[in-house]
Structure 1
């Protein structure tokens, strides 16, 4: 399967280490024999554990629960998945994007539909049967590009096997009618074996004039607290180390069933292990609904097993633009959310979104947006240009000139990129949770409790562990560190008790990893990280295997990238300077030196004998 968000993430190029790169297309091969269906799901999947289909063997965690559920059902029914498009007998294209973004961006911005059209054209030229899933067909079912292909709506993903089978027979199937919510215990293939993406509700209560989410996902529909808590218990028992609560608007949870988000969060945190081996990440929430529960939400964010990070989109700093967008809050109310959480939650980090060039936006309106971003210096801001979606009220509004929109996008991006959010972290020791290999092929990616991305070197066996890292240097998008201690369950409990005794830290709003959009494309939410605490890896293991792991991963990375030997050597020296040299590392170096010396002596001896014979 191919997620549109992955195409868009790869479109900007030059992503910093640890940021998402595009996935290869994952197609569907015919069913295996029924006798083989009892075999391990992983044996029936080609490459499904690589990348957000994610960390154990995947490098980058994913953000799409729908894709994971569809993959799980297909593999459970005997189908094999492949990441080589040409090898697939059918292409299943999921047009959903990250639930961690504001609304359903694939139905908000034209580039997603364009990416879908490109994939459809590729599939047709390769004579591949096509199934299109997600928000685009659900919200725009009459698109010309969807003629002659099968489509499945966002609330029909539990029928994906039926649709695939009929499509392989040459039939065109369209299942777009809404029904009850899909079960949470459907078979699932996680893109990242450490991360459970848990949808808590679908749809939203908003009516933004630029968005088609409600057209695609309908009105709010929430899962019950009991069903979500039971799912949390199940995934923890399966070894999941990070749980993402996903939603078009997390803050609106439960309003259709008589509960609210704080009730759910408090029920979930009671199930999280006390050793902090499983962490919780709260999904995107719009300001209107979280305003009612700021103190309760802050209390949950202070919990040791909850990341102190929240994505709260503002979209504009101008009240007149927010009114035109029908966002149902003011810039002052957004500031109240940020100020309150920053005050009540030590180390709170908040990400936000901005749409540049919304119809009617004046220079004064844009200046208010720039002022808001400068005031808070968010480390993570998703900047996008306005794209009209057919059928939305905003599409009928008078547009801002394209060149002005682009200029504003560039200006805001320059303002944002001028911030240095991580300055001052050098030398600090932070607890991190490590769950993936960075896109540079060298570093492992860990995150602090505040979700700041920390890049460290070490063996792949450190994936899924919790560790203490010393920050050695900082960059614009992340920080670099060295692991000084891995945490076992025993010392985790000791450390937790010590942390509870410490006075609260000052409220510093240092926000997490960042992705600014270019003038042409919208930035994507970065890959998530999971936590795991394990006593399997000793400090000696890290130091002795770190250099070997680096050489192996770096070799494959540069082979793929076509880097020169000089660049390889420069990177090697830079990274080795941060590594611990253990016994095996030293022995290897000594062995290389002795071997080289032996060869030199033999060469001199042979040359001397040759001269004597003459």
Structure 2
């Protein structure tokens, strides 16, 4: 079981994000370490209010990098001035806060709550559709806690989704260790049917499908892509973690897919959807990964160009088969992780840059930092609207925005004049008795 240490600086928003990180890590079987030097990963959630604060953040990051094997820096300074850490010679992974749990979880499957019951958080409904997985990955410890997949009937999950909508959910997140294997234990691949049925529920809401391993959805990927194309309520988004571009490494990881299967999944969605987001994960520095394997992973990332990429530096989990393998040196893993992270930022930055100047309809899903809100377009890309209160924009609203800029991993949007004009016209229209 892995350990973590987290330090948070700055505003209440940063503290809230750190709580979300901790919740995800604990759900994944991780536990806090008493001291940074006892942790497998240290997480520094930064602030960047004034120059003195920046110097303090750099100094603390340098200290943590010396005390721990793996340092992650997130928060405001990481996103606004992430290059300062590299310029200072600090070896750290620079991530948006919601990428931190996936990175720290070492490519392992997420876990659901023990009772696997739905939860409404603001306007976001969390719907665990099953517990457990069908994989036996050599590096994953989660499988020991969750066991094989156990899939409740479709109707039961549909009723839970309906209850979330009636309770005010505007976004339903369908979750599980591996959503793609929903129904395998009963001999029926039920995920396409379940998504169809959830989208048939009356109401205005969106649905996001959670992590589905390529091996789990391959075989239903054509049908699944058809369901996405037919249902506008579904975000055009899939999270299919490939983990490596090398079939040899995938075999050593005991993954249930090979690279060609991953490509076939991507091709099915490319064929049916004009705009969609591919999210995927890579584990860098697996014990049997050689230079050629790493190049294959880099080439695959450059080829498929996902819009969301999680890069994880491999670390051993006690009790797993991979923990007994002779590992690569820390320097090798760091160099490969740095190279892939740089390519990731280029690929993701280009994707968000291509959005600038275009108009998108978005759902406001949660409050952001200060007077801002976080929105999602139809492909689940994050667009930040600032000065939300001044504009009368609230969580749960649907509005059109024009993308005016980006910060590599998310975009900035301005509500269109058409929206404001329509609101003004409504406010000034005469009423009749």
**TM-score using structure 1 length:** 0.52
C-alpha spacing 1:266/1:20, structure 2 compared with 1 (3 Å): same
2-side partners of 1:222 and 1:271: how far apart?
Answer: 21
The more displaced of 365-374 and 419-428 is 419-428
Which residue does 2:407 correspond to in 1? 475
2-side partners of 1:298 and 1:430: how far apart?
Answer: 22
Q: Is the contact between residue 9 and residue 15 of structure 2 (CA under 8 Å) also seen in structure 1?
A: no
SS of 1:462's equivalent in the other structure is coil
1-side partners of 2:287 and 2:226: how far apart?
Answer: 39
C-alpha deviation, 1:118, in angstroms? 5.4
Alignment of 1:468-507 (within 5 A): 468-484=400-416
SS of 1:468's equivalent in the other structure is strand
C-alpha spacing 1:301/1:12, structure 2 compared with 1 (3 Å): farther
Structure possessing the higher radius of gyration over alpha carbons: 1
Alignment of 1:438-587 (within 5 A): 438-439=368-369, 441-457=370-386, 458-459=388-389, 462-484=394-416, 539-540=423-424
C-alpha spacing 1:430/1:317, structure 2 compared with 1 (3 Å): same
Q: Is the contact between residue 8 and residue 18 of structure 2 (CA under 8 Å) also seen in structure 1?
A: no
Of 172, 192, 212, which aligns to 2:141? Answer: 212
Of 83, 92, 95, which aligns to 2:26? Answer: 95
Alignment of 1:373-452 (within 5 A): 373-419=301-347, 420-439=350-369, 441-452=370-381
Larger strand percent: 2
Structure 1 stretches of 5 or more lacking a match?
Answer: 24-51, 53-61, 68-93, 98-105, 107-111, 122-153, 158-181, 488-534, 544-614
CA-based RMSD = 3.4
Structure 2 stretches of 5 or more lacking a match?
Answer: 39-110, 428-433
Which residue does 1:265 correspond to in 2? 195
C-alpha deviation, 1:390, in angstroms? 1.2
Of 297, 315, 331, which aligns to 2:259? Answer: 331
Alignment of 1:592-607 (within 5 A): none
Which residue does 2:226 correspond to in 1? 299
Of 243, 251, 254, which aligns to 2:183? Answer: 254
2-side partners of 1:472 and 1:226: how far apart?
Answer: 43
Q: Deviations over 1:367-419 (max 9, x none)?
A: 00011111122221111111111111111111111110111101111111123
C-alpha deviation, 1:206, in angstroms? 0.3
Q: Is the contact between residue 468 and residue 485 of structure 1 (CA under 8 Å) also seen in structure 2?
A: no
SS of 2:293's equivalent in the other structure is helix
**1:21 is aligned to 2:35:** no
Which residue does 1:198 correspond to in 2? 127
C-alpha deviation, 1:333, in angstroms? 1.2
**1:369 is aligned to 2:365:** no
Q: Is the contact between residue 204 and residue 218 of structure 1 (CA under 8 Å) also seen in structure 2?
A: yes
C-alpha deviation, 1:423, in angstroms? 2.4
Which residue does 1:356 correspond to in 2? 284
1-side partners of 2:209 and 2:318: how far apart?
Answer: 32
SS of 2:125's equivalent in the other structure is strand
2-side partners of 1:305 and 1:336: how far apart?
Answer: 24
User: Relative contact order: is structure 1 or structure 2 higher (C-alpha 8 Å, sep ≥ 6)?
Assistant: 1
SS of 1:418's equivalent in the other structure is helix
The number of equivalent residue pairs is 345
SS of 1:248's equivalent in the other structure is coil
1-side partners of 2:406 and 2:212: how far apart?
Answer: 29
SS of 1:228's equivalent in the other structure is helix
Which residue does 1:347 correspond to in 2? 275
2-side partners of 1:221 and 1:477: how far apart?
Answer: 35
C-alpha deviation, 1:294, in angstroms? 1.3
Q: Deviations over 1:312-354 (max 9, x none)?
A: 0010100100000000211111111112212212212111101
